[in-house]
């Protein structure tokens, strides 16, 4: 069974992008983990600075009488001593989706907690004189999935075209 075969890739987080708009919906593409993976609609992700070891991702499942749920969290840390400190920290409270760029070329996304997002991530911010730490948390009915990556083939991967 393919789902139980050995996984040969060991991906690392090599980038973080934040979205403040748009919508993600469950994938309906056959063979691409329908429901778990997401399709983007009018969503603009913006690259954000991360330093070495300044980002963490975690996912934990729990069971309820209604079924399982998954608590996902992404934590990023960045310097908080420049002139844009207050505005940058305030902007973090407006994040709708977080995309983790993986070294495998895949993009893991958190924020879609159901077929479509019905609640924004909870965002907790802690700062000191040197650093700011932002923790994005969401509770979802499914594990985190991937989102289509238009850079994979040089064209948006979901455009139905034929190059004859």
Q: Where is average pLDDT lowest: 13-17, 39-43, 87-91, 128-132?
A: 39-43
Token pair listed for 92 = 């973090």
- Report the pLDDT value the prediction gives residue 151, as an integer from 0 to 100: 53
Mean pLDDT of 111-126: 83
Q: What is the pLDDT of residues 123-149, one digit of tens each?
A: 999 999 899 999 999 998 888 888 876
Residue 162 pLDDT more than 70?
A: no
Which residue ranges make up each domain of the chain? 7-150
How many angstroms separate the CA atoms of 59 and 74, rounded?
A: 9
In this structure, the chain runs to a length of 164
How many angstroms separate the CA atoms of 151 and 154, rounded?
A: 5
Q: Match 């729990």 to its residue by tokens.
A: 62
> Which among 93, 109, 87 is positioned nearest to 43, based on CA atoms?
109
């Amino acid at each position: 069974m393919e789902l139980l075969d050995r996984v040969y890739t060991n991906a690392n987080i090599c980038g973080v992008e934040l979205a403040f708009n748009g919508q993600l919906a469950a994938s309906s593409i056959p063979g691409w983990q329908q429901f778990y993976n997401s399709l983007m609609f009018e969503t603009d992700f913006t690259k954000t600075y991360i330093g070495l070891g300044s980002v963490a991702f975690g996912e934990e499942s729990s069971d309820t009488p209604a079924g399982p749920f998954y608590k996902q969290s992404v934590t990023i840390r960045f310097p908080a001593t420049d002139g844009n400190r207050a505005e940058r920290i305030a902007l973090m409270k407006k994040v709708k989706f977080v995309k983790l760029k993986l070294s495998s070329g895949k993009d893991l996304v958190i924020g879609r907690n159901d077929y479509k997002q019905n609640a924004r991530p909870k965002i907790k911010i802690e700062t000191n004189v040197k650093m700011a730490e932002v923790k994005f948390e969401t509770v979802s009915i499914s594990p985190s999935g991937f989102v289509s990556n238009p850079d994979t083939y040089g064209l948006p991967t979901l455009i139905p075209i034929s190059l004859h």
